[in-house]
Amino acid sequence: MKDYYQILGVTKNASSEEIKKAYYKLAHKYHPDKGDGDEKRFKEINEAYQTLSNKEKRSQYDRFGRVFDGATGAGEGGFPGQGGDFQWSWSSKPGADFEFDLGDLGDMVEEMFGFGSSPKKKKNLKRGKDIEITIEIALEDTIKTTEREVSLFKYIICSRCDGKGAEPDTKIKECFSCRGTGEVQQIRKTFFGSFTQWGICPECKGEGYRPEKPCNVCRGEGRTQNQENIQVRVPAGIDYGQMIKIEDKGDAGKSGGKPGDLYIKIFIKKHPLFTRKGDDLYVAVPISFTQAVLGDEINMSTIDGKDIALKVSEGTESGKILRISGKGITRFAGHGRGDMYVQLNIKTPKKTTRVQQELLERLRKEGM
């Protein structure tokens, strides 16, 4: 009977992590692809690991010295990971009669070396980057649609080559190295075996073609950095933190690639009088004691600068709120404006004249 613990060089109470580490170490040492590898020893190591890495199989092996599912031998059950969590595999040397299935070891290798066994989906390497900026507007600017001009230092299309990256009247040719794919394949040998790496072509930088003669201004990139003034339309009703997207106004793409987009985040200045809540406005208006008691008509300004007459009813209590329809913020989706809510606060004078004091004393005697 084979002693799987002895084969892996671990004790019977070894943890799963210790068993895995021992396996990786021995698999590396005896792998048949190595010049001093040992195929027979390698199969024994795999057989031992397949049993001891499986909780149920290990329990059977510890109790009975074998497992009863017919999967203990390499010829019967293959190598570790078949039917389990391992999914990645590679074949041995040409002409060898076995396949080495590693699965999560392959993931470990990919993390270690930064490459996989199949080409990745090609990215759009030419598209320009998006740009995000912020602008601040006044609260009264949200009443109507306004125009703002912003100045950006960014990549723009090269004026000499019109974004092509080549000198005028010269040709752009397919990259000889990658044949227009933008990717090249490399074979790398490691102690785990040979790996195929797919990466960006160093000759054309992933674009698939090269100018016969690079532009003298942009050096073949098709874009240069410069200042650009952009008109921004700020729609009525926009609120704090909302974004405006302007397509194709980000950085210009390389070699005629699609430009990125411009994102503008809106900040609204704090108003000295009005407070915004959604599409409605709130404002506090002070009134005198006599206005509250006797009633009055007062003038006040709205957010758009127009004066309106506001009626204060007789016997108004401090804190009373009046609703003025249609004097709030223009709704972002159209359909009119929100409302304005006016809170009437009775203002108590800090100082009074002698005449006022005499009158107040008379009122107090009258029960007011």
What is the model's pLDDT at position 309?
A: 93
Number of domains in the chain: 3
Provide the percentage of residues in the chain whose pLDDT is more than 90: 44
Q: Are 327 and 274 in contact (CB under 8 A)?
A: no
Beta strands in 145-222 (DSSP E): 146-157, 172-174, 183-190, 193-200, 209-211
**Residue 32 or residue 24, greater confidence:** 24
Least confident of 32-36, 56-60, 231-235: 32-36
Residue 62's pLDDT band (cuts 50, 70, 90): confident
Q: List the CATH number of the domain containing 197.
A: 2.10.230.10
**Residue 105 or residue 124, greater confidence:** 124
Mean pLDDT (whole number) for 83-96: 36
Mean pLDDT (whole number) for 252-257: 89
**Residue 192 or residue 58, greater confidence:** 58
| Residues 6 or more apart in contact with residue 353 via CB below 8 angstroms | none
Above 60 in pLDDT, residue 196? yes
Provide the percentage of residues in the chain whose pLDDT is more than 70: 80
Other Cβ atoms closer than 10 A to 277: 11
What is the model's pLDDT at position 328?
A: 95
Above 60 in pLDDT, residue 98? no
Q: Are 127 and 256 in contact (CB under 8 A)?
A: no
- Domain boundary pick from 268, 300, 320: 268
Q: Are 225 and 251 in contact (CB under 8 A)?
A: no
Q: Are residues 162 and 264 in the same domain?
A: yes
**Whole-angstrom Cα distance, residue 364 to residue 312?**
23
What is the model's pLDDT at position 193?
A: 67
Residue 124's pLDDT band (cuts 50, 70, 90): low
Within a domain: 33 = yes
Q: Are residues 305 and 245 in the same domain?
A: no
Q: Are residues 243 and 351 in the same domain?
A: no
Above 80 in pLDDT, residue 267? yes
From residue 130, give the alpha-carbon distance in Å to each of 147, 198, 215, 339.
21, 27, 25, 38
Q: What mean pLDDT is reported for the chain?
A: 81
Mean pLDDT (whole number) for 356-365: 84
Q: Are 136 and 142 in contact (CB under 8 A)?
A: no
Q: Are residues 192 and 108 in the same domain?
A: no
What is the model's pLDDT at position 252?
A: 95
Q: Are residues 146 and 262 in the same domain?
A: yes
What is the model's pLDDT at position 359?
A: 84
What is the model's pLDDT at position 280?
A: 96
Q: Are residues 264 and 135 in the same domain?
A: yes
What is the model's pLDDT at position 363?
A: 80
Q: Are residues 139 and 251 in the same domain?
A: yes
**Whole-angstrom Cα distance, residue 14 to residue 36?**
28
- Domain boundary pick from 203, 233, 268: 268
What is the value of pTM for the model shown? Answer: 0.59
- SS3 of residue 225 by DSSP: strand
Above 80 in pLDDT, residue 85? no
- Domain boundary pick from 237, 268, 299: 268
Mean pLDDT (whole number) for 291-315: 93
Q: List the CATH number of the domain containing 34.
A: 1.10.287.110
Mean pLDDT (whole number) for 58-81: 57
Q: Are 341 and 283 in contact (CB under 8 A)?
A: yes
What is the model's pLDDT at position 275?
A: 96
Q: Are residues 181 and 281 in the same domain?
A: no
What is the model's pLDDT at position 332?
A: 81
Within a domain: 122 = no
Least confident of 198-202, 235-239, 308-312: 198-202
Above 80 in pLDDT, residue 249? yes
List pLDDT tens digits, range 139-177. Answer: 999 999 999 999 999 999 999 999 988 999 898 888 877
Q: Are residues 281 and 219 in the same domain?
A: no
Residue 119's pLDDT band (cuts 50, 70, 90): very low
Q: Are residues 243 and 292 in the same domain?
A: no
**Residue 361 or residue 329, greater confidence:** 329
What's the domain range around 155?
131-268
